[in-house]
Structure 1
């Protein structure tokens, strides 16, 4: 997967040297409920695309003990998926955390098949905490802050007057006036700024008064980036509605020029440095790539230009992530590679399948629609296997049971196995089962998502083959 390797290279060049200054983080604990389970810790590569980046993993032993180590060069919020829970905590380089996991609750069959199921977020307990430890500070602050945020959100929605904001903000400051922890103080500052932001009556006012404008960019502080993402959401649309309406469209759709776009955004007078101008542009490009306001090709051209010209390492990483996330399943691009095992324990890579069209599908034996499609896929394989590789990625927890099922049904096409926690489901944006994709013989995406067997896929395939004289 050349595109994936280029993406990795860009990230490595951007951050490879920072690894030299990284320090070890140790996470340990005892959770007998989870014995035999693999626990994976990840963070977000950036706070705009929210691409997941694995930090480390470990397996819980028979007595319930687990220990995981990885390197960090700055404080991060990290996560781990634990069945119906999505646990998180804040970790600092060089520290050891003894954590307590929640009682194990696996997702039910219905939850596994429900594309709208969302795991409950839970702040993992730190056993070896002190009262000035970061997780303790953030947890106690949020316990007081979240109900107020919800109350104000309700009042604003009801268009009620908010008269006690200043006194409320002061009351949040008092318990933490002696705290010298810079990460926490920034977290607190921008959570409180969010309350102010909610009370502003117009986007122009909220942007002009934003604390983000006069503060260093805190790329990995979720309080800063949550506020940033809210304030500058659809920023290009804001410019279109303002005096810059013709200019911004000309910069992107006609000139396709990052230089001109930087000048237009910089001339708004809001921003004091190029780092923030670039970040706002990156946010704007990301938002508009999912709309029809601007040409997608033009946006990608501007993004490529920023990726190649920026001197700001973290902005380069965000640009690479945006391009990867947006194009990974686009027609004409190479989709994410994978290495999975057949039900007979043979490892298969996506690159191994070049030479024929690939009809890639994600299914589960627990789903009636999937079972119905299997019979149609069987006929497709019999009629078109000379030109078409059918590849079913089974989402299942019991490969042996799945293997027996396939043998009994005499299905002859390629089955690969993964579980519901697999990275590949995230990479292919699988929200529901079944999901289909069609790749050409060179491994490029043709249709994403592809027609299913019940949506006249066979007729489409016939036309495709006929156009090639087959």
Structure 2
């Protein structure tokens, strides 16, 4: 037993290269703020995974050490921007943050606001740094594709694809960094696919030699989404689409896999990854059986796949698809209440718990919350109300709830709305209904003014 443990430890020591790197910066505009950086779980689910946090001191300085084993893409939302970078083992970095541009009131309340993607400047803009190299390449790539937009995208003239490729190769001919080479290859393959009228999906076959580590590159995720977004939905509407719907309904992964290989000219792990992407998108299309897709994602085809990264991706996708599905446990909410104590939703003793996420700075939310008093009279005593309010410097949440005699329990979310994000709340107000065992009954439920009491009455029938 001890010998086996020693061999495992020796293997990990020899082959897992873990290095601590220092991440430092100076950004006086951001003094006193805290930035949270995330990685992405995989290119299919794109689930953000907390990576590290930096707390910026009163003079705008910050420093942190982080252990990494491979090139790692990460990002942080800074005001209206999403700052991105690639960390490399053994290379300390000094980050230059963009000039602070906070979201306007309208932007902060807009559920469909997307931050502007930028590459952060690292190590004073050193041209050999991977992040800076990718940023320079992308800037030139998009400049050239804009210049030849009509020839490339409307007239689909392949000689202009060669023009873009040759000009970029000349300008970046001395760059040999492997991470950059993969990024460049993926960008050009995406452009090549854009120029094809038919069979563009088969360009994926030219990526067969990519390693699972290279799947983590954002350019690979872009490539997947560019070629295979909602593919099953689109192809199921073709002349041969009936069989595809039948395969999904019967959970026939063997036929779906065979079709994917033929359709994309891929095989093995890459083909399985693309199929997983297709099933993920089909789940959200509403055109296929969601339970059948979920069972396929959970099946040994993926969960016992010979490629570890496919197994990890399938687990991540399964977790995302199953989240807040009817009958599944909902995350417990523990937040400070109006009395100053922490209240946890697991303490509810009534048959139902109605969760309402609201932001009292938004007029419609105030009206929705006011209507809770009337709604409580109509739904009766079997429903507990938990109102999760966004923190506000403009509205006194406690005073509003008290003066309007709002029933239920009021708690306040964290400054970055962590609980709202955990429940994947996109817009305020949003509501959910849980049962007495904290399992999902309705996700989403109707909001008070949208007729929850009628939905609740139908539920009891």
* 2:240 is the counterpart of 1:271: no
Cross-structure match for 2:292: 298
Q: TM-score, normalised on structure 2?
A: 0.87
Q: In 2 relative to 1, CA 39–267 (structure 1 residues): closer, same or farther, beyond 3 Å? A: closer
Correspondence for 2:312 among 311, 314, 317? 317
* Aligned-pair CA distance for 1:243: 9.2
Q: C-alpha root-mean-square deviation of aligned residues, in Å? A: 3.0
Q: In the alignment, is the contact (CA less than 8 A) between 2:378 and 2:453 conserved in 1?
A: no
Instruction: Pick from 64, 70, 85 the counterpart of residue 68 of structure 1.
Output: 64
Counterparts of 1:200-211 in structure 2 under 5 Å? 200-202=196-198, 204-208=199-203, 210-211=205-206
Matched residue, 2:189: 193
Runs of 4+ in 1 over 6 A off after TM superposition: 16-20, 241-244
Distance 1:429 1:153, change over 3 A: farther
Q: Compute the displacement of 1:93 (Å).
A: 2.4
Q: Which residue of 2 aligns with 1:459?
A: 454
In structure 2, runs of 5+ residues without a counterpart are 1-11
Aligned mates of 1:238, 1:45 — CA distance in 2: 26
Pairing 1:173-188 to 2, within 5 Å after superposition: 173-188=169-184
CA distance in 2, matches of 1:417, 1:18: 48
- 1:321-360 correspondence runs (5 A): 321-353=316-348, 355-360=350-355
- How far is 1:192 from its partner? 1.5
Distance 1:434 1:152, change over 3 A: farther
Select 2:225's aligned residue among 215, 223, 229. 229
Q: How does 1:387-466 map to 2 (within 5 A)?
A: 387-398=382-393, 401-419=396-414, 421-465=416-460
Does structure 2 conserve the Cα–Cα contact (< 8 Å) formed by 1:56 and 1:69? no
| 230 and 121 in structure 1: CA distance in 2 versus 1, 3 angstrom threshold | closer
Structure 1 contact 328–336 (Cα < 8 Å) conserved: no
In the alignment, which residue of structure 2 is the partner of 1:380? 375
> Structure 1 stretches of 5 or more lacking a match?
1-15
TM-score, normalising length: structure 1? 0.85
Q: Does the 8 Å CA contact 2:23/2:64 hold for their aligned counterparts?
A: yes
Offset at 1:316?
1.6
For the residue of structure 2 that corresponds to 1:332, the secondary structure is: coil
Q: Is the 8 A contact 2:201 2:264 kept in 1?
A: no
Relative contact order, higher structure (CA 8 A, sep 6+)? 1
Matched, 1:283 2:277: yes
Q: How many corresponding residue pairs?
A: 448
* Residue equivalent to 1:170: 166
For 2:26 and 2:126, how far apart are their aligned partners in 1?
20
Task: Tell me, in whole angstroms, the C-alpha distance in 1 between the residues paired with 2:181 and 2:83.
Answer: 23
Q: CA deviation at 1:20?
A: 6.2
